[in-house]
Amino acid sequence: MATIKIYPPQQLPAEGVTDVQFKIWTEELEVYLDIDDRFQKFLPGGRYDNWLAAESNPDRLITAKAPDRDDDLPKFRRELRQMLTIIAKLIHTDYYNPILRQSTSLQWIYTRLRQDYDILQQGIHFLNILDVKYDITASTTPTGLYNNYRSLIMGSLGKKGDKIGWQNKELSQDENLSPSFEDLILLNVLNILHPRLPAYVNDQYAHKIGETRRIMDYKVEILTKAKQYIEEIESIESQPISVNNHVEVGEDPQEPDINYISTRGRQRDRYQRSNYRPRRFQQSNQRQQPNRNSLPPYCRLCQLSGQPRSTFSSHYVGDESCPSMSDRDRSQLIERVSSQLSNVQLQEEPDLEAEYGYASINHQHEQ
């Protein structure tokens, strides 16, 4: 009969262990220890899953539990020491002495490691969930990210007997994830994968979800296609958009507008409005500057002097009909303008024929 070889987990490093990595390590550790009948009684749920710290009592196990007898305790103490030595070798050497001398249970070891690795999940450590990020170029898959995120949530669920301060009560049973909570976890993961992904998934699956279907029913399909969806979203975001029938500078007017949901144009429009910032458009989309030659008459002097609109809109500043300017001021204005115009030197148009050497040729033709 073939047998399966079970190996111990890899040694934990001194730092940089994630919650998922730690849970994998603990599962592999317990499976490895469980294959030895001698260690089963020290695992969680076993008859001796708690013991005394060696620093307080070197014997660790004081009382035998049925059906064991006190005569069995010396052998159990040796077996416990052997198990702790194996565990200590599977962790960084910094933890060797604490595990051998201070541990009181396997759970005590787990809690101590979580504290030092800063992967606690309850209390203020629940906020560590905000540090969950996704790098599409890394080895973590969307499914792996989902499992990691959900694992953090599961580790923060309340246990029977936990005190809930803001409700002033004690939990009568362990918390479980409700279907709505599962939907919310998946939605949060989609947002971490890409901030536009939830809206994209909504457009793809909204018509499929009804009274008997939830978004979790499509979890596997969505996470499997997540990278493809992200690429499509980023492709759409890289395309120029049109506003008021004017195209962006550099865009080919004949190029069709790309619609990632061909049958849901209304959703596309909402998606574009939420994703894009105003950009610079060609001159036809900018505010047209007024043609000053076509401006109606206007006299600022008459307006400031309190003349009615019919008066200050009937002539220009300096006209002879202006009632707000004296003849002397009008004469001085004309003199100053004339003086400035007399000093203006008009640049003669260059003789292009001479500059390009055609003057002599033209002269020969004239002869």
Q: Could you list the mean pLDDT of each consecutive 10-residue stretch along the chain, which spans 367 residues?
A: 83 86 92 95 94 94 93 95 96 92 95 85 69 79 88 83 88 91 94 93 89 91 92 80 48 43 44 42 42 68 79 82 84 80 63 62 56
pTM: 0.50
pLDDT at 358: 61
SS3 329: helix
pLDDT at 352: 59
Average model confidence (pLDDT) for the chain?
Answer: 79
- Residue whose tokens read 């990595």: 21
pLDDT at 61: 95
SS3 101: helix
Tell me phi and psi for residue 343, to 5 degrees. -85, -5
Helix axes 19-34, 73-89, angle to 10 degrees: 140
Please state, in angstroms and rounded to a whole number, the distance separating the CA atoms of residues 132 and 134: 7
Residue pLDDT, tens place only, 68-118 = 999 999 999 999 999 999 999 999 999 999 999 999 999 999 999 988 888
Please state, in angstroms and rounded to a whole number, the distance separating the CA atoms of residues 20 and 24: 6
Residue 350, classified by CB atoms within 10 Å of its CB into exposed (0-12), middle (13-18) or buried (19+), is exposed
Residue pLDDT, tens place only, 254-289 = 444 434 333 344 444 444 444 433 333 333 344 444
- Residue whose tokens read 């003849």: 327
Tokens describing residue 247: 């195209």
SS3 string, 235-291, reads: HHHCCCCCECCECECCCCCCCCCCCCCCCCHHHHHHHHHHHCCCCCECHHHCCCCCC
In the chain, beta strands by DSSP E: 163-164, 169-170
